[in-house]
Amino acid sequence: MAHEFIKHLKEDHEKQRELGKELQQAKDPKKREKLRQQMHEELNPHVEGEEASIFDYMKKTGGQAHEEALKAIQEHHIAKIVMNELMNLSLESEVFEAKAYVLDELNTHHMDEEEETHFPLLEEIADKGQIDELFELYEETEEEVEKKLI
Ligand SMILES: [Fe+2]
Ligand SMILES: [Fe+2]
Protein backbone atom coordinates (compact mmCIF):
# COMPACT_ATOMS: atom_id res chain seq x y z
CA MET A 1 0.00 0.00 0.00
CA ALA A 2 1.47 3.29 -1.04
CA HIS A 3 1.60 6.09 1.49
CA GLU A 4 -1.17 8.71 1.18
CA PHE A 5 1.48 11.29 0.22
CA ILE A 6 2.49 9.19 -2.78
CA LYS A 7 -1.17 8.78 -3.75
CA HIS A 8 -1.62 12.53 -3.49
CA LEU A 9 1.39 13.18 -5.75
CA LYS A 10 0.09 10.69 -8.32
CA GLU A 11 -3.30 12.39 -8.35
CA ASP A 12 -1.56 15.70 -9.03
CA HIS A 13 0.30 14.01 -11.87
CA GLU A 14 -2.96 12.81 -13.41
CA LYS A 15 -4.28 16.39 -13.45
CA GLN A 16 -1.08 17.57 -15.12
CA ARG A 17 -1.25 14.79 -17.71
CA GLU A 18 -4.83 15.74 -18.60
CA LEU A 19 -4.12 19.47 -18.71
CA GLY A 20 -0.98 18.86 -20.77
CA LYS A 21 -3.00 17.07 -23.44
CA GLU A 22 -5.84 19.62 -23.40
CA LEU A 23 -3.38 22.49 -23.70
CA GLN A 24 -1.85 20.99 -26.84
CA GLN A 25 -5.22 20.49 -28.45
CA ALA A 26 -6.67 23.91 -27.60
CA LYS A 27 -6.82 26.33 -30.52
CA ASP A 28 -9.15 28.99 -29.13
CA PRO A 29 -7.14 31.79 -27.42
CA LYS A 30 -9.54 32.00 -24.46
CA LYS A 31 -9.30 28.28 -23.91
CA ARG A 32 -5.52 28.42 -24.20
CA GLU A 33 -5.38 31.21 -21.62
CA LYS A 34 -7.54 29.30 -19.16
CA LEU A 35 -5.64 26.05 -19.60
CA ARG A 36 -2.16 27.53 -19.37
CA GLN A 37 -3.20 29.31 -16.17
CA GLN A 38 -4.52 26.05 -14.73
CA MET A 39 -1.35 24.22 -15.73
CA HIS A 40 0.81 26.90 -14.11
CA GLU A 41 -1.23 26.67 -10.91
CA GLU A 42 -0.84 22.88 -10.88
CA LEU A 43 2.79 22.59 -11.90
CA ASN A 44 4.59 25.24 -9.86
CA PRO A 45 3.28 24.46 -6.34
CA HIS A 46 3.74 20.76 -7.08
CA VAL A 47 7.40 20.96 -8.11
CA GLU A 48 8.32 23.41 -5.34
CA GLY A 49 6.58 21.16 -2.83
CA GLU A 50 8.45 18.10 -4.08
CA GLU A 51 11.78 19.88 -3.88
CA ALA A 52 11.13 21.01 -0.30
CA SER A 53 10.11 17.52 0.77
CA ILE A 54 11.02 14.32 -1.06
CA PHE A 55 13.95 15.61 -3.09
CA ASP A 56 15.45 17.46 -0.16
CA TYR A 57 15.22 14.23 1.83
CA MET A 58 16.73 12.15 -0.99
CA LYS A 59 19.54 14.67 -1.44
CA LYS A 60 20.47 14.36 2.23
CA THR A 61 20.38 10.56 2.06
CA GLY A 62 23.34 10.45 -0.32
CA GLY A 63 24.27 7.72 -2.80
CA GLN A 64 21.86 6.87 -5.60
CA ALA A 65 19.02 8.83 -3.96
CA HIS A 66 21.17 11.96 -4.02
CA GLU A 67 21.99 11.55 -7.71
CA GLU A 68 18.35 10.88 -8.63
CA ALA A 69 17.19 13.93 -6.69
CA LEU A 70 19.67 16.20 -8.47
CA LYS A 71 18.44 14.97 -11.87
CA ALA A 72 14.78 15.41 -10.90
CA ILE A 73 15.46 18.99 -9.73
CA GLN A 74 17.11 19.79 -13.06
CA GLU A 75 14.05 18.42 -14.85
CA HIS A 76 11.85 20.67 -12.69
CA HIS A 77 14.08 23.59 -13.64
CA ILE A 78 13.59 22.97 -17.37
CA ALA A 79 9.83 22.39 -16.96
CA LYS A 80 9.49 25.72 -15.13
CA ILE A 81 11.42 27.54 -17.87
CA VAL A 82 9.19 26.12 -20.60
CA MET A 83 6.07 26.77 -18.47
CA ASN A 84 7.11 30.41 -17.97
CA GLU A 85 7.79 30.82 -21.68
CA LEU A 86 4.34 29.46 -22.43
CA MET A 87 2.81 31.91 -19.93
CA ASN A 88 4.48 34.81 -21.76
CA LEU A 89 3.74 33.61 -25.27
CA SER A 90 1.13 35.19 -27.53
CA LEU A 91 -1.97 33.02 -27.47
CA GLU A 92 -1.97 33.10 -31.25
CA SER A 93 1.71 32.32 -31.68
CA GLU A 94 2.50 29.68 -34.28
CA VAL A 95 4.75 27.96 -31.71
CA PHE A 96 2.11 27.76 -28.97
CA GLU A 97 1.12 24.20 -29.75
CA ALA A 98 4.75 23.10 -30.24
CA LYS A 99 5.77 24.58 -26.89
CA ALA A 100 2.79 22.99 -25.15
CA TYR A 101 3.82 19.69 -26.75
CA VAL A 102 7.40 19.95 -25.49
CA LEU A 103 6.23 20.91 -22.00
CA ASP A 104 3.95 17.89 -21.92
CA GLU A 105 6.67 15.57 -23.28
CA LEU A 106 9.22 16.51 -20.69
CA ASN A 107 6.77 16.74 -17.82
CA THR A 108 5.22 13.36 -18.65
CA HIS A 109 8.68 11.76 -18.86
CA HIS A 110 9.57 13.32 -15.51
CA MET A 111 6.36 12.21 -13.78
CA ASP A 112 6.76 8.66 -15.16
CA GLU A 113 10.27 8.54 -13.69
CA GLU A 114 9.03 9.77 -10.34
CA GLU A 115 6.33 7.12 -10.25
CA GLU A 116 8.55 4.29 -11.47
CA THR A 117 11.81 5.15 -9.70
CA HIS A 118 11.71 8.00 -7.21
CA PHE A 119 8.61 7.23 -5.20
CA PRO A 120 9.48 3.51 -4.75
CA LEU A 121 13.00 4.55 -3.75
CA LEU A 122 11.64 7.00 -1.20
CA GLU A 123 9.42 4.32 0.28
CA GLU A 124 12.50 2.11 0.66
CA ILE A 125 14.68 4.65 2.42
CA ALA A 126 12.08 6.46 4.55
CA ASP A 127 9.68 4.99 7.08
CA LYS A 128 6.03 5.97 7.44
CA GLY A 129 6.71 8.61 10.11
CA GLN A 130 9.32 10.29 7.92
CA ILE A 131 7.01 10.27 4.90
CA ASP A 132 4.25 11.80 7.10
CA GLU A 133 6.65 14.65 7.92
CA LEU A 134 7.57 15.07 4.25
CA PHE A 135 3.88 15.27 3.38
CA GLU A 136 3.46 18.13 5.87
CA LEU A 137 6.47 19.94 4.43
CA TYR A 138 5.07 19.44 0.94
CA GLU A 139 1.68 20.88 1.86
CA GLU A 140 3.20 23.90 3.63
CA THR A 141 5.35 24.72 0.60
CA GLU A 142 2.53 24.11 -1.85
CA GLU A 143 0.33 26.51 0.10
CA GLU A 144 3.04 29.21 0.20
CA VAL A 145 3.58 28.99 -3.56
CA GLU A 146 -0.18 29.04 -4.24
CA LYS A 147 -0.48 32.26 -2.19
CA LYS A 148 2.24 33.89 -4.29
CA LEU A 149 0.45 32.93 -7.50
CA ILE A 150 -2.80 34.64 -6.48
FE1 LIG B 1 8.54 16.40 -9.99
FE1 LIG C 1 5.73 15.09 -9.36
Residue 51 CA: which ligand is closest?
A: 1
Is 0.75 surpassed by the pTM of this model? yes
pLDDT in tens, 82-127: 999 999 999 999 999 999 999 999 999 999 999 999 999 999 999 9
| Among the bound ligands, the one closest to the CA of 12 | 2
* Closest among 59, 56, 102 to 79, alpha carbons compared: 102
Name the region of 62 (left: φ>0; alpha: ψ -120 to 50; beta: rest). left
DSSP three-state, residue 33: helix
Distance 97 CA to ligand 2 centre (A): 23
What's domain 4-149's architecture? Up-down Bundle (1.20)
Could you say which ligand is closest to the alpha carbon of residue 6?
Answer: 2
Spatial contact of 17 and 137, defined as CB atoms under 8 Å apart: no
